[in-house]
Structure formats: structure tokens, C-alpha cells
Amino acid sequence: MSIGAHRTAANVLRLRRLGIDTYQESILFMSAECPVCRSEGWEALARVRVAHLDHAIVATLNVTTSDLLAPDEASLSEAAWRALGASEGDEVVLSHPGPVASLGHVRAKVYGSRLEPPAFAAIIRDIVAGRYSSIHLSAFVTACAGGRLDQDETIALTRAMIDVGERLRWSVAPVVDKHSVGGLPGNRTTMIIVPIVAAHGLTMPKTSSRAITSPAGTADAMETLAPVTLDIPAMRRVVEREGGCIVWGGAVRLSPADDIIIRIERPLDIDSEGQLVASVLSKKVAAGSTHVVIDLPVGPTAKVRNPDAAKALGDLLVVTGAALGLRVAVMEGDGTQPVGGGIGPALEALDVLAVLRREPAARPELRERALVLAGRVIEFSREVPPGAGYDTARALLDSGAAWKKFQAICEAQGGMCEPPAAAHRHDVVAERAGHIEVIDNRLLARVAKLSGAPRAKAAGLALHVRLGTRVERGEPLYTLHAESPGELAYARMYADQNRDIVSVSGGTQ
Amino acid sequence: MSIGAHRTAANVLRLRRLGIDTYQESILFMSAECPVCRSEGWEALARVRVAHLDHAIVATLNVTTSDLLAPDEASLSEAAWRALGASEGDEVVLSHPGPVASLGHVRAKVYGSRLEPPAFAAIIRDIVAGRYSSIHLSAFVTACAGGRLDQDETIALTRAMIDVGERLRWSVAPVVDKHSVGGLPGNRTTMIIVPIVAAHGLTMPKTSSRAITSPAGTADAMETLAPVTLDIPAMRRVVEREGGCIVWGGAVRLSPADDIIIRIERPLDIDSEGQLVASVLSKKVAAGSTHVVIDLPVGPTAKVRNPDAAKALGDLLVVTGAALGLRVAVMEGDGTQPVGGGIGPALEALDVLAVLRREPAARPELRERALVLAGRVIEFSREVPPGAGYDTARALLDSGAAWKKFQAICEAQGGMCEPPAAAHRHDVVAERAGHIEVIDNRLLARVAKLSGAPRAKAAGLALHVRLGTRVERGEPLYTLHAESPGELAYARMYADQNRDIVSVSGGTQ
């Protein structure tokens, strides 16, 4: 029996809010002078069970050596407050957590063993229960990377991730979806595909993410046009009325394990195929989808760097999907440059509106990519033969049916508005004449973030050129947009220091 | 060029001390309302370069959402204050850290590549410079575990760890050392071996660790008899005068990379052979040793669990040592129960004193193990033939030469004192007559820690039985020692709840 599992005067502390945000990691703060800390022999980084009423979490201990906390007080990181559902002044009972049995499976994986489905189920349950520290999560992600998950293990991991979250059910079939494997700025095809597909009569309950490291996620761009923070009943009402929606996935929490694992994968920058497949497909199955198109941009600064990698990943997606009753179609595409000219929530929304409204300024590559993908989705419906989807999609876009459907979806989600415009702008111009040779997607995203995106909705940049475009000296390459003069200055400084964000051929610098 | 690398008004904050101890991880605390945070687009868990005068560290960002910090203030974890050498009120300049190039090698290892020596050198340099977060460190440890380091890689890793720390040189040869691979409570042979070996005339500059998860380290036990926090010049004076020392390794920092990596290995509980070998041998080479005896206790609750594992680990230690110019001799031993009866700093020191002073109460198994190991060390000297070391060691112990040398070493380290005695004691007794069947090393260590060890120097427990000992009902199995009544009560409660810490055979409970 674990000591302190029961409430005694010795292991009860009063909670005080310090307001420390550690992203998703649960941290417990406790004074080094606190009797519980001393008698338990706890030190910084120990794992501690924190119970409040009938809830309990496991947190990593940070010890305070100042008067920040009194000896009878404790505090929590913001994530831990949320996970525990506690309020300032509440009492918590501290104890040693039981051993985390599923870490034995992680160790087995580290030593090269194959894991059976119950092992993945146990690991994922413990991850969602907050029993893994960042150190444990990193070990799990690392042990599964580098091709160390085979086909069956990938299926088992995906199924385990589905089983710990909510799962939507729909009365219609097919229920379709579309997912882009990340890495390209401005790739806002979703907001064009959903209204086309819904206008065709298919059901497409789309959940999208907000920006994490990028200047905008689809949910951020959509939010400049309509509310996106809908709960599951609200989302269901929109889909039942209009056939489609574009809402923020964070509000519906369809794959809570994925939300936690992604936090660790990002700083590691490890592309684990098995984890990627589990991440994408678990969300789709949880959303109740039956048919999914996966957009796989291939290019040197995209996530998938060459055709061989695309083929291997595509096969794994298709086979894993099939095992879970999900029909997956993979479409490779050009990943060498941004899709669309706007980068930032409002600027990307404007690109989408231009395509839907069939404006002359609409970006042809965004329109084209959206039509190709929407066409493939539409071919999931029985009455559209293979190869005929593109023309059907184009007809729905050109007739205005898609634009009408988009407005209806926005209204159903809570009302449509115009995206905000930035008060402060600056053109970055070509220093010499020539052709555009290279566009660095990564640096471009960085400039857009320095302008204030995604927090400042109107901020970001509008790119005026594509690879191969001929420019004259002094001609604008891109325009910075900012909501404040300070942020504009900051982005300008960075752009001035990095003249190779957009490289122009010809002549020596 | 990285933005913000230069000092501008926009990226300077004033430091305020919050006194938050995150063990060795560098954390930067900054208000979410801070202009730097907002304009840089930083979020919780971002990595930020923090510069103060001509020093800089990389820290993980925690964002405060309360009034804990003003918008123009920042704070650091205790480890980061130390690493940066900053004081309250100092200004720091924040910027984006450059990419950590050596993480590319870690990723290559994750994908199964062999790493060349320069890759290990780059990784270890970045680790010591604080450029790896816990997440990165965990990935490195995991990627190297499970037999994924071959012989050459283990040598390269060990060499890289030596190259980033101080390295002692001695004018004599051989310079000998002894190391026990952990996992057994009360295994304080070092404090007996050093005086025997030094009395024989060999040079043995011993650095030992403090307890990390155990009730006492050798440095903690030694500290109840003499000062152990010596810097390198002071340590050198002791060794030059007496031939040996027993000091705290943390004060001399001979393998700083190891101090960081160990922090991650512990919560993972991953026994990476390559990392273990690099950890042990890097410290020995850095201390200037030429000949080392490794004590390898084998048993089901010890670190090395069976003879095959002991053989493989022993071979790796010998071959890696040879590549680094270090002669390694491995001695396997009984790892099924504690060595010595005391567990806790002062109680372990008393066991050592009893052996050195040849008291009737001296624990025979502690004396025997120390003599075997000291004998093997002594055989490194040219004039002692193989097999003759044990008798030489016994003669030095029985003549009182070792005891005299121990007192001289204590005096040279700053003066000898008697270990403290605990004011509060309680006997845990047998509930029935029988033989001792099992002793759970792990739970025994836990009870000793609940009594207050290692913080309370006199606290811990004294074990009165060994495996196979016949006890009567009501006879004491072990005695709890505590410095306060509260801590004694706490340890008693745990002992009462866990009657199987020491199991007595016969009859049903």
C-alpha cells in the first residue's frame, strides 16, 4: 500500500494560484520547508500524486526555496489546475503515485521488442491520465521512431488512441474528410473543399487545428470569418443542417492522446511514420469518418521530402486505415512553395474568399489544389465515377454553389463576418531584377509570426511571387501586414537581415 | 542571423528571483503580457537564449499568466541562476537560440545510424552547454539504449564525456580506484578500501557521490566523519600527503555531462549498458586513474540481475577501459541483500568504523567484501602477486594500519568527528518465529528515507538479521532511527503497512 494515500494532517496542503503555464505538463510547486516535502523525502523532479475530492493527477515536483509558497501551501501549473478541476484555496492530498506499469512496455520497446495491442492500450491510457512526464513521453516517441513500429503495431497504436477519446457516430454514409500532412504555409484548401463537397451533398464534419508553430492553422483562418469553438452537440447541429462544418478540433478533443504526444514530437523534430499515421487516422475515425483523402505535399522544405518517403507513408496510411474500416486515398502534390499568397489568419481567409467568390485576384494554385482534392473526395460518392470528381467540383465552385454553401456553414456556426485588415504595411522589394529561384517556407513563416500572426488576426504577409516569376529591381516580393507599428518594425528588421527568404536569380549579391 | 541576438530595448528584461527549483533544468519564467514574449511569438515550452554580460544559456520558457511577474521582468529556475551567474535585478537579453546542430546526430541515432566520434563530441558539448531540454536528453538516452551503441561508439561516448570536464594528472603510477555498480543499500566498502590501499602505499584519489534516490551515498556517510566538499587543489593536497581521499565528486565536477544525463536516466529506469560504461569510466579517467576494480553485485533486486548480464557488462567495461588506457578488473559479488547493517549516513559510517576499529560488533560481510575488493586493488601494485592481495589487505586491516590511515585522511580533509546518534528509535519485531527468507532492498531503502535519511544524518535503520537468520517471535528485525518524533511515526506507519520488507518463513500469516 502506498503511504499517504489516505488523508492525514501530514499530507494535506492548501492550493494557491501562481499562474505558471508549462504548456501541457502537470507541475506541482511546493515549499522545500513544507513538512510533507521533508517527510516524504521528495526532491525536485519527483513524481507526486495530487488528489482533490475524487479526482487525482500525477505531477512533477518543482520545489520553491523562497517565500513564494508558505510551508502549508502548494501550487500547480495551469495545465494541472485544469486537469484537477481545483480552485484557489482548495485542499489537496499528496501521496506517492503507484508505479506506472505501462512504462515496462516502453522499456521493452526501447530494447527492441514488438508490442501487442494491450501494451499500446495501457501506454495510451496512462498518457491520457497524465501519468507520463515529458521524459517518459520523449522515450516512448523515440522508441517508436526510426521504423520501429511495424504495420500491426501502427494499427494497434491507432486503435489505442481512438479508444481513449470521444467517438462521433453519424446516421449517414459515407462520411468524408480530408487531411493535409503539414509543412506548407498558406495551404488553406480545407475551407474551399468543405463547401464544395457539402454542396455536392456529402457529409464532411471537419475539425481543424489552430497554429502551433506556424503563423496560422485552418481554425485560426476560419475564425476570422465565423466562430469555430463549437462543442460536439453544436458541431453536430451544423453538420446535420449544412452537411459540413469547419470547427476547431481542440474544443471537441477527439484524440486527447495525440494532443499530448504532439507536444513532445515538435521539439524533437522526429518524423515517426507510425506516430504520424496514428495521429492522423485516430482523429478521422474518432470524428466518425468512413472515407478520407490525404494531401501529401512533397518537397525539400515540406514534411515529406521525396517520392520514396511519400510512397512508404502513403501505403502505411492506406493499410492502417483499411484495418480500422476507413477508406484512405492519398494524393501527392507540389511541396516546394506556399499554396496561396497570404500567410496569417485573415490574409489566408482572404485568399479563400477570393477563390470562393471567383474574383480575378484569386490565386490559381490554391483554386487548382482545392479542386483536385475536392474532386477526389467527391469520387467517394457512389454516383460519381473515378476521374469525374474534378469536373463536378469545378462546376460547384464556378456556379457559386460552393460560395453559397460556405456562407450557410458560417451562418450555422454562429454568423459570418469580414476578416480584419492590418493598419500597418510594408513592401519588401527585389534588390535586383531576375527570376525567383528559391522560397524558404520556414523563414517566410517566421517573418509572418514576427508581424504578430497568429495572435494578431490581421497580421502576416502577402506573397506576390511564385517560383520562376520574373521581377524587376524595386518590385515588391511580399508585403508585411501588422496591427501595431512595433510589430511591423520587428518583422522589417528580420526581413532586412534575411534577404534570402525569397531569392532572386542573376548577378552576384 | 538570429534576431534579437543584439541588445535592443525590446528584448531586455530585469531578473527577479522566485526561488523555483527544477533540479538541473534551466527554465525561464516570463509574463504572457511581456512585449518580448508577445513580439517574439514565444509560447510555453519554447527554447530561449538568455544572455547576461558575456554568458548565455538556453532555457525552456514557462509563461506566467498572473501578476507573479511584471511585463518587464523575468525569472529563472535555481539551476539557471547558477548556470548564468546572474543576480536579482540584473538585466538579461533574450533571443532565439540558434538551431542545435548536434540534434541531427541524435535523430540519426534514432533512425538506427552508427555515430562517429565527432558526432558524440558535438552532442556531449551541447549537453554540457545546456542546449538540450529534458525532452532532447531523454531522446538521446533512449536512442542509445537497448544495445544500440556498439563497442566503438561506447568508447567514443566515454571519450567525449572525458573531454568536456576537468582531468586530473598525478606524478605517480599506478593511480588506482574502485567503483560499485549501484543498487545495494549499506554497501560502504569504499571507506574501508581506501585506507587499506593507501596504507599499502598506492595512490587512490576517490570521489564519491551523495545519495540521489538512496538513503545515503558514500559522500553522505563520510561527511558524518570528516568534511567531503573539497575543491581540486584541496583534494590534491590530501592525496599527496596521505595517498588517498574520500571526497564528494559533485564539488570537483569531473564528468559534468554525466551529472546531466543521470538526471534523465533515473526516471526512465533504463539501464543502457553503453551509457553506464561511459558514466563510470569517464569519471575514473578524468580523476587520473590508471587501474580500476569494478564491484558488480548480482541479484534479483540489484542493478545487474543475472550472471550473463554481468559477463556482458564486465567485458564492455574491460575493453572500453583498455581503449582509454585504463586497466579494469571486474569482481562479481552477492547482490541479494544489504552489505552491512546500517542504512543511513551515520549508521553506515558506524558500520565502517566498527570494521576499521576491529570491534566485535563489526559486520563480517562488510569486512569480507571490503577485503576482497581491496585485495584486488592491491594486486595492481607490481610487488604483490595475483592471489596475494587479500592477505596483504587483511594484514593492513588487522594491524590497525588501515584505521590509522583512515584517521589521517579525515584529519587531512579537515578534521575527524564522531557520527551523530538518533534521539528517537523503534524496533520492528518478528511477528512469528522462523528463518529470514527475503529482504526487499528497495522497500528497506524507502523506510530509511521516511525516517529522514539522508537529510537527517543520524536517521535511517539498523538491520539485525541476514538471509537465513533464525528469529523468535517478538525479536527485533530492524531498528528505526529518527531525529524527530514525527519522522519516526511516519517510518513506523510505513513499516507497519509493509510487513514483507523482511519476510520470515513458516506458518501462515
Query: H or E stretch including A176?
Result: strand A176-180
- The domain defined by A424-504 folds into Aldehyde Oxidoreductase; domain 3 (3.90.1170)
B128: which strand partners?
A: none
Across the A:B interface, residue pairs with CB atoms under 8 Å apart total 177
| Residue A110 CA to its chain's centroid (Å) | 27
State the pLDDT at residue B309: 87
Nearest CA to B264 among B131, B180, B149, B142?
B142
Q: Examine the pLDDT at B8 and tell me if it is beyond 60.
A: no
Query: Helix (H, G, I), strand (E, B), or coil: what is residue B55?
Result: strand
pTM of the complete model beyond 0.90? no
State the pLDDT at residue A325: 95
Q: Examine the pLDDT at B4 and tell me if it is beyond 70.
A: no
Write out the catalytic residue numbers of A.
Answer: 271
- Across the interface, whether the CB atoms of A21 and B142 are under 8 A apart is answered no
Interface test with A, best of B61, B133, B135 (most A CBs within 10 A): B135
Interface test with B, best of A8, A33, A43, A45 (most B CBs within 10 A): A45
State the pLDDT at residue B39: 66
Superfamily of domain A103-163: Transferase, Pyrimidine Nucleoside Phosphorylase; Chain C (1.20.970.10)
User: Which chain A residues are Cβ-neighbours of B110 within 8 angstroms?
Assistant: 142, 145-146, 270
pLDDT band at A507 (very low <50, low <70, confident <90, very high): very low
State the pLDDT at residue A206: 95
Whether the CB-CB separation of A459 and A479 falls below 8 Å is answered with: no
Whether the CB-CB separation of A216 and A198 falls below 8 Å is answered with: no
Out of A17, A68, A133, whose CB is closest to B19?
Answer: A68
Mind listing the pLDDT tens digit for each residue in A177-208?
Answer: 999 987 677 789 999 999 999 999 999 999 99
Mean pLDDT to the nearest integer, B267-293: 89
What is the rounded radius of gyration, in angstroms, for the C-alpha atoms of chain B?
Answer: 25
Concatenated DSSP letters for A400-442? THHHHHHHHHHHHHT---PPP--SEEEEEE-SS-EEEEEE-HH
- Across the interface, whether the CB atoms of B110 and A142 are under 8 A apart is answered yes
State the pLDDT at residue B376: 97
State the pLDDT at residue B271: 67
Q: Examine the pLDDT at A362 and tell me if it is beyond 80.
A: yes
Q: Examine the pLDDT at B245 and tell me if it is beyond 50.
A: yes
State the pLDDT at residue A28: 93
Same fold, B9-95 and B103-163: no
d(CA A447, CA B41): 11
Mean pLDDT to the nearest integer, A35-47: 72
Q: Examine the pLDDT at A36 and tell me if it is beyond 80.
A: no
Mean pLDDT to the nearest integer, A409-416: 97
pLDDT band at A250 (very low <50, low <70, confident <90, very high): confident
- Across the interface, whether the CB atoms of B267 and A135 are under 8 A apart is answered yes
Distance from CA of B222 to the nearest CA of A (A): 21
Mean pLDDT to the nearest integer, A99-116: 91
Q: How many residues does chain A have?
A: 509
Out of A25, A44, A490, whose CB is closest to B21?
Answer: A44
pLDDT band at A442 (very low <50, low <70, confident <90, very high): confident
Mean pLDDT to the nearest integer, A228-248: 95
User: In 10 A of CB B443, how many CB atoms?
Assistant: 16
Out of B64, B103, B133, whose CB is closest to A20?
Answer: B64
State the pLDDT at residue B2: 41
ipTM rounded to 2 decimals: 0.82
State the pLDDT at residue A225: 98
State the pLDDT at residue B282: 94
Mean pLDDT in chain A? 89
State the pLDDT at residue B484: 86
Least reliable range by pLDDT among A268-282, B160-174, B257-271: B257-271
Mean pLDDT to the nearest integer, A504-508: 68
Q: Examine the pLDDT at B477 and tell me if it is beyond 80.
A: yes
d(CA B59, CA A92): 30
Mean pLDDT in chain B? 89
User: Which chain A residues are Cβ-neighbours of B26 within 8 angstroms?
Assistant: none
Mean pLDDT to the nearest integer, A270-289: 90
State the pLDDT at residue B335: 82
Q: Examine the pLDDT at A487 and tell me if it is beyond 90.
A: no
Whether the CB-CB separation of B201 and B314 falls below 8 Å is answered with: no
pLDDT band at B509 (very low <50, low <70, confident <90, very high): very low
pLDDT band at A258 (very low <50, low <70, confident <90, very high): confident
**C-alpha pair distances (Å), A174 with each of A253, A289, A389, B99:** 22, 8, 16, 45
Mind listing the pLDDT tens digit for each residue in B187-202?
Answer: 899 999 999 999 999 9
Q: Is B351 a catalytic residue?
A: no
- The CATH architecture that domain B9-95 belongs to is Beta Barrel (2.40)
Q: How many residues does chain B have?
A: 509
d(CA A329, CA A268): 29
Q: Which residue in B has a C-alpha nearest to residue A63's C-alpha?
A: B21
Which CATH number applies to B176-253+264-413?
3.40.1030.10
State the pLDDT at residue A509: 38
- Of all residues in chain A, the percent with pLDDT exceeding 90 is 61
Q: Examine the pLDDT at A3 and tell me if it is beyond 50.
A: no
Top mean pLDDT of B69-73, B168-172, B388-392, B438-442 is at: B388-392
- Of all residues in chain A, the percent with pLDDT exceeding 70 is 95
Mean pLDDT to the nearest integer, A90-101: 84
Backbone CA torsion sign across A162, A163, A168, A173: positive
d(CA A391, CA A379): 11
List, in sequence order, the alpha helices (H) in A145-229. 151-163, 190-200, 218-223
pLDDT band at A271 (very low <50, low <70, confident <90, very high): low
A334: which strand partners?
A: A298
Out of A17, A64, A267, whose CB is closest to B21?
Answer: A64
pLDDT band at A252 (very low <50, low <70, confident <90, very high): confident
Mean pLDDT to the nearest integer, A296-303: 80
Q: Examine the pLDDT at B300 and tell me if it is beyond 80.
A: no
**C-alpha pair distances (Å), B404 with each of A62, A244, B397, B399:** 45, 87, 10, 10
Domains of chain B: which residue ranges? 9-95, 103-163, 176-253+264-413, 424-504
Write the class of the CATH domain A176-413: alpha beta
Least reliable range by pLDDT among A55-69, A255-269, B277-291: A255-269
Q: Which residue in B has a C-alpha nearest to residue A486's C-alpha?
A: B39
Concatenated DSSP letters for B99-161? P-TTHHHHHHHHTT----HHHHHHHHHHHHTT---HHHHHHHHHHH-TT-S-HHHHHHHHHHH
Backbone CA torsion sign across B375, B381, B387, B391: negative
- Of all residues in chain B, the percent with pLDDT exceeding 90 is 61
